[in-house]
A and B are shown apart, each in its own frame.
Chain A
Amino acid sequence: MQINIDIGKTLRSGSRTFELRAQLTSSSQRIVIYGPSGAGKSLLLKAVAGLSTPDRGHIEVAGRRLFDSGGGIDVPAQRRQLAYLFQDYALFPHLNVRQNIAFGLQRGWRNPLARVDGEAVRYWLQAFELEHVAHQLPHQLSGGQRQRVALARALAPEPQALLLDEPFAALDPGLRQRMRAELDALQCRLGIPMLLITHDPEDVRAFGDHVLRMENGSMAEIRDMDIVERNEA
């Protein structure tokens, strides 16, 4: 994915200030930003998705200028055509699996019906083996199924890139391995570029074609996985 980010944002909370200075240029299909919690990774991902507005700089994804403080460009989140996988999935609790998957396919003011159907819905239910739970509500699903629904919902509108916020943190360790393999296969099959943020070195090993480290709001390139390992120890 052609991605080019250079943004700055200052957050103030009482007497404390947090300074985000993020630079990232990559043409890799799998970019991982690795760092401890509180480093500003989520803030960066939200800025890319259009859920948070930087003070200055620019964001360019897949050749589209999404934000440019100088040029007065700020494409609304609705029109950025990006998929966002939230850490705890943020599935709509009042809608069943079908409705969640179809949510982004039906614009306008009304939710899809409980029996919503269609080629895309059928495809994603099948691709993630969710047919037998299609009518269930999110709280009735297992952790792995929830993640699959969240992925299906995010990918159904055919986004240009996939943004993932700590995608495996909410899962049991045993399940993590399996879901990593699943995401790995999915990404290869769809060829969709992804930007993943994590504090788990395992994620870096699995997806880190291009790895950057983030700490205290600043970023640095990582060429050598040993740095990740050492930081973990």
Chain B
Amino acid sequence: MINSFLAEPAWIALRLSLKVACWATLLDLLFGVALGYLLARKRFPGRELLDALLTLPMVMPPTVLGYYLLVVIGRHGVIGAWLQRTFGINLIFTWQAAVIAAAVVAFPLVLKGARAAFETVDTQLEQAAKVLGISPFGVFLRVTLPLAWRGVLGGALLAFARSMGEFGATLMVAGSIPGKTQTLSIAVYEAVQAGQDDSANLLVIITSVVCIAVLIAANKLTPNRNPQA
């Protein structure tokens, strides 16, 4: 009985969406923490330009992003052709392509959260740790990150929610293959197109519940106005 329930298209789409969102968020965390720290702490020419470029996915139409992604990871794309030639890997119309699309679209949320969080950490604390003999990476792990993690995690949760809802770019690079690349948001679109209102209702409710839960968690983690309390 549970098995047949889990085989429902809606649950398959939910599981796929969760998988895609998890991987996308992990990727974003990795790059977002590194680049957010760089932007918050290092002075270099073109710093604000880099920030603007990395924030672009937030304001660009998803279709434009999807097109850029095809140019880069498509069969004839810069990286896509190389992957095909060297490893025989084709990313287009796979769930991995959906991960890349979601990661790119949601990246600015992690980056902004991480940069803001690192900027609130008093540099004097890092200097104090340095004088006490702690290596630069040790200072980052022992002082900077523990004082910034709330902001970083808040950004990551927003990115997770955004990844769950990603539609346009995902459709262009991953398509809509049921059980393989058809995520929750794409399944909603297909269900409405096919006039399957029951199925659409269920999918919409699931999406809403997951997103609300994630947003509540993100709000709880957002740096408290009074951290001493």
Residues of A within 8 A of B (CB): 49-51, 77-84, 86, 88, 90, 92-94, 103-104, 107-111, 139, 153-154, 157
Contacts and interface: CB of A to CB of B under 8 A. Distances in A.
Interface in B82-126: 122, 124-125
Interface of B: 122, 124-125, 127-135, 137-138, 141-143, 146-147, 227-228
Nearest to B228: A139
B176 to A, nearest CB: 45
Q: Is the interface of A mostly helix, strand, loop or mixed?
A: loop
Given A103-B134, A109-B138, 18 more contacts: A51-B130, A78-B131, A78-B134, A81-B133, A84-B131, A86-B127, A90-B124, A92-B128, A93-B125, A94-B146, A94-B147, A107-B133, A107-B135, A109-B137, A109-B141, A111-B146, A139-B228, A157-B133
19 contacts: A51-B130, A77-B131, A78-B133, A78-B134, A78-B135, A81-B133, A86-B124, A88-B124, A92-B129, A93-B227, A94-B146, A94-B147, A103-B129, A104-B133, A107-B133, A107-B134, A107-B138, A108-B138, A153-B132
Q: Is the interface of B mostly helix, strand, loop or mixed?
A: helix
A93 B127 contact: no
Contact of A104 (B132, B141, B147): B132
A88 B124 CA distance: 10
A104 B147 CA distance: 18
A90 B146 contact: no
Contacts of B125: 90, 92-93
Contacts of A157: 132-133
Contacts of A153: 132
A43 to B, nearest CB: 13
Contacts of B131: 49-51, 77-78, 80, 82-84, 154
Contacts of B128: 84, 86, 90, 92
Nearest to A94: B146
A51 B130 CA distance: 8
Nearest to B132: A104
Contacts of B129: 92, 103
A77 B133 CA distance: 7
Contacts of B135: 78, 107
B138 A51 contact: no
A108 B131 CA distance: 14
A154 B131 CA distance: 9
A107 B138 CA distance: 8
A154 B129 CA distance: 10
A77 B135 CA distance: 10
- The 6 A-B residue pairs whose C-beta atoms are closest, nearest first, are A104-B132, A90-B128, A84-B131, A90-B124, A77-B130, A109-B141
